[in-house]
Amino acid sequence: YVLNGIKTFTSNGPVADTFVVFAFTDKSLGGKGLSAFIISKDNPGLKVGQHFYKMGIRASQTSEIILKDCRVPREDLLGKEGQGLQIAMSSFDHGRIGIAAQAVGITQAALDESISYSKQRIQFGKPISKNQAIQWMIADMATDIAAARFLYSYAAFLKDQKQPFTKEAAMAKVFAAEMSTRHTSKAVQIHGGYGYIKGQKVERLMRDAKITEIYEGTSEAQRMVIAGNLLR
């Protein structure tokens, strides 16, 4: 096989040793003409392109991957020709559980920081943790974290039991991602002006949270998956 094309957003692209690349072996078949290939970084037809400077998750490097007359031996076809879409969708189901867990971890860190800061920050002679407005934000944060944790744990349980879990993984991801974006913003609010300062942990957590609504399928895509499973 000879592959040509560019993958724009490739997580860990600059540091990966091996890539799984999806390409059309028969465009006339649409999704059924998509195949998957295993390609080593040492392949002369593969090179790393532009590095992207992201808003968050900066510990994960992201770049273009450029394929130019990239020759791939037939034995490096993953599965069979035409199975690429099936392989990709399966990997998304698995990955969405992980992203939900990531979102929960980010939000748990934001909650921990908010509890600690609210107990230390004194306003009008008392810690701001004594204010009902702060208490409600913390209570909502903790409740949503618990709910999201149960959602991804249930999806993971179904996966381990080899039962269908596509819908449950999508539910876990969309709920966890959106609650993470919402509550990390509340964590910045609890910290007030200090939370908006570069270098503060909650400022970074708010930036990191947003990507969970985007990669491994956007929140909008998750709702399509959920509805498609319920309405078929």
Q: Quick one: 67 and 89 in the same domain?
A: no
Same domain, 172 and 94: yes
Contact 207, 55 (CB under 8 A): yes
What average pLDDT does range 164-181 have in this prediction?
98
Which residues are the active-site residues? 216
Say if residue 143 is in the same domain as residue 31: no
In this structure, are 73 and 100 located in the same domain?
no
pLDDT of 86: 93
Instruction: Calculate mean pLDDT across residues 124-146.
Output: 98
Q: CA distances (Å), 111 to each of 49, 52, 103, 149, 186, in order?
A: 38, 29, 12, 14, 9
- Domains contained in the chain, number: 2
Please report the pLDDT score of residue 90 as a whole number: 87
Considering the domain architecture, whether residues 98 and 119 belong to the same structural domain is answered as yes
CATH number of the domain residue 16 falls in: 2.40.110.10
pLDDT at 22: 96
Domain that holds residue 108: 84-231
- Do both 117 and 201 map to the same domain? yes
Point out the domain boundary residue: 49, 78, 107. Answer: 78
**pLDDT score of 80 more than 90:** yes
Q: What percent of the chain has pLDDT over 90?
A: 97
Torsion of CA 176, 177, 179, 180, to 10 degrees: 110
C-alpha dist (Å) from residue 63 to 47, 51, 130, 141, 194: 10, 4, 46, 34, 32
Confidence of residue 142 (pLDDT cuts 50, 70, 90): very high
Question: Which of the listed residues 21, 51, 78 is the one where a domain comes to its end?
Answer: 78
Q: Looking at the structure, do residues 89 and 118 belong to the same domain, yes or no?
A: yes
54 pLDDT above the threshold of 90: yes
Write down the pLDDT at residue 131: 97
Q: Could you tell me the pLDDT band of residue 17, with boundaries at 50, 70 and 90?
A: very high
Query: How far, in Å, CA of 12 to CA of 16, rounded?
Result: 6
Mark which of 78, 99, 127 sits at the end of a domain: 78
Residues 99 and 128 in one domain: yes
100 with 212, same domain? yes
Q: What is the pLDDT of residues 21-45, one digit of tens each?
A: 999 999 999 989 999 999 999 999 9
Query: 81-132 pLDDT, tens per residue?
Result: 999 999 998 899 999 999 999 999 999 999 999 999 999 999 999 999 999 9
pLDDT in tens, 60-78: 999 999 999 999 999 999 9
Average pLDDT score over residue span 2-28? 95
Q: Are residues 38 and 137 in the same domain?
A: no
For residue 207, give the CATH number of its domain: 1.20.140.10
Within this chain, do residues 66 and 149 fall inside the same structural domain, yes or no?
A: no
Please name the residue that has the structure tokens 């876990």.
172
Same domain, 165 and 186: yes
Q: What is each CA distance from 88 to 78, 159, 172, 199, in whole angstroms?
A: 11, 16, 19, 37
* 165 contacts 155 by C-beta, under 8 angstroms: yes
Paired strand residues for 7? 65
